[in-house]
Amino acid sequence: MTDISQPERAKKRVFSGIQPTGVFTLGNYLGAIRNWGPLQDEYDCIYSIVDMHALTVKRDPVKFRQQTIESYALLLSCGIDPKKSIVFIQSHNPSHAQLNWILACATQFGELTRMTQFKDKAKKHPDDINTGLFTYPVLMAADILVYNADLVPIGKDQKQHLELARNIAVRFNQRFGDTFVIPDGYFGAAGASIKSLQDPTKKMSKSDDNPNACVYILDDKDTILRKFKRAVTDSDSEIRFAEGKDGINNLMTIYSCVTGKDFSAIESEFSGCGYGEFKLAVGEAVSDYLEPVRSEFKRLMGDKAYLKECYTDGAQRAFRISNKIVTKASRKVGFVDYR
């Protein structure tokens, strides 16, 4: 769809976000962030540490603030360049909350009750099913629509939320006239869903109780090797991508993502090898792949002033874009213009 609000825009716009809920996982990295870097050369990219979303679960404020800064540094360590892209912290740009309200009034209660992530999280935190958790997907729609993003690079688990954002945009445009671009998802060829190392039918997630289920991108080499060594596989012994071999399929996907080799090349490379040997090779490859992230993170965390400069500048640039779109949507719904 053409961009309605900025017809002069030469490049398509990309938006994506990640929650500052701890060190990113290998799933976050291979499923999403790894794709964000290369997009910077072709598109106008806007990337955000979405701290407002993270507030839907109870957090210790001191730890939360620290995790947000660390997540920002991690994003830069993963190759997101604040000179090429707009990289900011969500709560620094008030446009998200403003558009959130307008969109909430164009979203049905029934639509939100169908969101599987809400159902999962409500089950996980029965003592705190706050309304923020329930309306989370509306804020996510606002994040995307407030920049009129064309493309949203995400992992598979966010597909339902993106679908809702599209529906809200279509409905708003039908009711008030063309306002929002209808965004498309962008999914990497491999890695759109990296599974838990302990239960390969579930996605790899920070909130997994089993410490061996999840690889964090700052894990040291020994930890990475140990986690892969303990990865759950099957009773077969062949390294082959096939139905019913969820554990091996997941390890092959990870190995493929970090080495660039396709499945048939991996099958030939490990033909005749045992699972133990393969797991070790995957662990080694992942550790080597993540080494530059670990060292860059260490360097950046030693320069907090630079980080602050980057996120302050990012928020100002983000606001300059989003404020125009909020103003446009405000006029459309009939708010009184005061400028």
Residues with catalytic function = 121, 203, 206
Nearest CB to ligand TYM, comparing residues 44 and 143: 143
Residue nearest to ligand TYM (CB): 31
Q: Is 20 annotated as a binding residue?
A: yes
Q: Is 19 annotated as a binding residue?
A: yes
Positions in the binding site for ligand TYM (CB under 6 A):
15-19, 27-28, 31-32, 50, 53, 140, 143-144, 152, 154-155, 157-158, 161, 192-194, 203-204
The whole-angstrom separation of Cα 253 and Cα 256 is 5
* Exposed e or buried b per residue across 302-323, where buried means at least 16 C-beta atoms within 10 angstroms of its C-beta: eeeeebeebbeebbebbbebbe
Candidates 6, 333, 289, 323; CA nearest to 150 is 6
Q: Which residue has the tokens 């920002």?
A: 72
Neighbouring CB atoms inside 10 A of 75's CB total 25
Neighbouring CB atoms inside 10 A of 230's CB total 13
CB of 202 vs ligand TYM, minimal distance in Å? 9
Nearest CB to ligand TYM, comparing residues 179 and 253: 253
CB of 183 vs ligand TYM, minimal distance in Å? 9
CB of 57 vs ligand TYM, minimal distance in Å? 11
Nearest CB to ligand TYM, comparing residues 31 and 82: 31
Nearest CB to ligand TYM, comparing residues 202 and 299: 202
CB of 155 vs ligand TYM, minimal distance in Å? 2
Neighbouring CB atoms inside 10 A of 231's CB total 24
Q: Is 60 annotated as a binding residue?
A: no
The whole-angstrom separation of Cα 54 and Cα 162 is 18
Q: Is 203 annotated as a binding residue?
A: yes
Whole-angstrom CA distances from 35 to 16, 147, 151, 216 are 11, 19, 12, 18
Q: Return the H-helix or E-strand segment holding 57.
A: none
Q: Is 155 annotated as a binding residue?
A: yes
| Residue numbering of the annotated binding site for L-tryptophan | 143
| Residue numbering of the annotated binding site | 19-21, 27-28, 143, 155-157, 194, 203-207
| Residue numbering of the annotated binding site for ATP | 19-21, 27-28, 155-157, 194, 203-207
